[in-house]
Chain A
């Protein structure tokens, strides 16, 4: 067992191979850094993580005369790290045996202040109009470690901005501090190496090659990686100041990878999604499809209240009336012929919602059939890095899955237990066309338009069809009852990704107008009282569907592997 001392604090690092920044992080001490990123190669170019280092032998510390970049220097048993924050250390701990004339932390502190002064030489003072202000590492560190006034008397470099580097990303060249995280990302993770550093010294700039803009499917990550406001997402640019945003942990519903994300919203409007590091799910990044795929949540044409068909047209109806009518009609249909009643569960439903929906009809009659809704597939699994010709390379760092829904696995497991097998959607359509299905409930929305296009060919008389969806579709044209669906950001629940990782969704924003989350809808349809309570439903689910047994306890932040 190796022990490292960070600001006198002994940190047990076990057998891990760590650098100073990681070892200090383990001991709860933050070493400031810009260029270091745990998932990218180390270049030690920003010099912000400079620390004093030494070796502990026989109770005495031999301190090296120079400061070291913490991100590049590995630690071993007995390594002593002294950061610029030594003065803020835990004073209850015994002080190590430093040499007599040595003042711990002084050199590192000065080195950090000097580094910051260097970085700020050409950095414009435009924080008020910079979108990064508020979450900018340069702002934070100059406040904590820097000096308050600039000694620079010459004019600053003002290279022109480059909004043309990408259709989704803009570059404010003058704000760049040359940490090269974005360059390394495009070389190592996305692979096509669109970005590079041109010119030298203080005139270095990030740029793309002429005619080859940054357009890969992971490009959006460079905006998150940028520690300052140099790279900005055009989707989010000038929309909000970051201090107005509320951040909530969520899960991307774009594909079956199920990236852990942070969703930022203000006044019930989502403004951006950012990846939340999760080694079990996707790592540190997310794809642009997911990142920009939330816009349907804020779309104006979303269905926002229940409708009922009256004289051939859909007319608005109060939620409680709609619930009562649907509940009664399905009860009648089950009484007449339970085998002709179908419930189709979309892979966009959470596990708990699928469970509650299945329980609603299965409790009335075992003969009711449960089926899986259409599972959207687009192309093939897209893996990164890719070379410049678009050929996927090994080892794979990131995968965008072809299955464009977040919870097929979860819904399938519910169906396996409560139905016995998984009935696919074409069989439902077949049954409707044959006239075997008399009452069908299509549960759960499809943010992807065109998922229910197959209904444009269906001509069924005397079919009782109830749909919950985001937008009008051929299915809603045929439906007697239409419920508005709640988006992933508007509900609580569990998504099970392709690798059986169960992650918790949190409510980011309120659903528009009369929209209730499906969990509530199915609870109301089944005449269960009260509001949807995630913990209670999970307990019930864990009891009845053994596959989800682990959900009975608190699900950790980074999810839990069920298999």
Chain B
């Protein structure tokens, strides 16, 4: 939408006086900042990659698909993440859940995220009604081809396994413990249980 001419306000450039045209006050101001830094305490440079950065738990890195207590994929294929995704990088194919999954009618047959297309905004995580998709603190994601960067359901579940178990590469630390309602299904799975 272009602005209507009535709403545009034209302003004049401010007039510069003699002192300002000499630029000396501006130069002095700049130099004072430079000199001030000499006497400030030193900023410590992190020695990456020898030293891993400490990331906040809400850092938005690679996605994972959470598992429930029975190790099944927690996702119920509701497409909320795919709908919320501004980059359209999530592709889901839903199917009726296997007959032995009594608490659910629908599950994702395939679940694919194009990690190259993703802008890591975290909208998928916010949209998910069952806390099945989460963004982890894995930040150093690399791949040799575009195909490698398209993560399918198995790969996304393996990210869950990797981030919820002690990681030998990071001093046996659990990098991303299950944050939300661990092991329980959210309200969307509040479906009839056959007694």
A contact residues vs B (CB 8 Å cutoff): 124-129, 158-161, 172-174, 237-239, 241, 243-244
Ranked 7 nearest A-B pairs via Cβ: A128-B78, A158-B192, A238-B94, A128-B188, A128-B129, A241-B79, A129-B106
Bound CA–CA A182/B79 (angstroms): 28
B187 in the interface (beta carbon within 8 A): yes
Chain B residues, CB < 8 A from A129: 76-78, 104-106, 188-189, 191
Question: How far is it, in angstroms, between the C-alpha of A121 and the C-alpha of B83 when the chains are bound?
Answer: 29
B residues less than 8 Å from A239 (CB atoms)? 94
Residues of A within 8 A of B104 (CB): 129
- Asked if B34 is at the interface (CB within 8 A of a chain A CB), the reply is no
Q: How far is the CA of A504 from the CA of B159 in the complex (A)?
A: 52
User: Is B193 in the interface zone, CB < 8 Å from A?
Assistant: yes
In the complex formed, the residue of B with least CB distance to A173 is B192
14 residue pairs A–B, Cβ–Cβ below 8 Å = A124-B192, A125-B190, A126-B189, A128-B76, A128-B80, A128-B188, A129-B77, A129-B78, A129-B105, A158-B191, A161-B105, A174-B192, A238-B96, A244-B83
CB pair A238 B192 closer than 8 Å: no
A171 → B minimal CB distance (Å): 12
The yes or no answer to B194 lying at the interface (CB within 8 A) is yes
Which range holds the interface residue count of chain B?
20 to 34
Query: Which secondary structure dominates chain B's binding surface?
Result: loop
A124-B190, A124-B192, A127-B188 known, 9 other contacts, Cβ within 8 Å = A125-B187, A125-B190, A126-B190, A128-B76, A128-B130, A158-B191, A161-B192, A238-B77, A244-B79
Complex Cα–Cα for A429 and B85 (A): 58
Residue in A126, A174, A241, A243 whose beta carbon sits within 8 Å of that of B188 in the complex: A126
A161: chain B residues at CB < 8 Å are 105, 192
Interface 0/1 of B126-138, CB less than 8 Å to A: 0001100000000
* Residues of chain B lying within 8 A (CB to CB) of residue A126: 187-191
Mark each residue of chain B from 94 to 125: 1 if its CB lies under 8 Å from any CB of chain A, else 0: 11100000001110000000000000000000
Residue of B77, B83, B129, B192 touching A160 (CB-CB under 8 A): B192
Task: State how many angstroms separate the Cβ of B63 from the closest Cβ of chain A.
Answer: 18
CA distance A129 to B192 in the complex (A): 13
Q: How far is the CB of B110 from chain A (nearest CB, A)?
A: 13
List of A residues within 8 angstroms of B194 by Cβ? 160
A255–B101 alpha-carbon span in the complex (Å)? 42
Cα-based distance from A342 to B80 in the complex (angstroms)? 56
A125 to B191 CA separation, bound complex (whole angstroms): 8
Using CB atoms, name the residue of chain A closest to B94. A238
Chain B residues whose CB sits within 8 angstroms of the CB of A128 once the complex forms: 76, 78, 80, 129-130, 188
- CA of A265 to CA of B43, assembled, Å: 58
Shortest distance from the beta carbon of A229 to any chain B beta carbon, whole Å: 11
Measured between alpha carbons, how far is A158 from B105 in the docked complex, in Å? 14
| Residues in chain A near residue B188, CB distance under 8 A | 125-129
A518 to B179, CA, bound (A): 58
CB-CB nearest in chain A for B127: A128
Output the nearest chain A residue to B130 by Cβ-Cβ distance.
A128
A152 CB, min distance to chain B CBs, angstroms? 13
A173–B96 alpha-carbon span in the complex (Å): 17
Task: Report the Cα distance A488→B189, complex, angstroms.
Answer: 40
Query: How far, in Å, is B111 (CB) from chain A's closest CB?
Result: 14
Chain B hits for A158, CB < 8 A: 191-193
Q: Which residue of B lies closest to A243 (CB)?
A: B83
| Residue of A126, A127, A159, A161 ringed by the most chain B CB atoms within 10 A | A126
Once the chains are docked, how many angstroms separate the CA of A85 from the CA of B191? 34
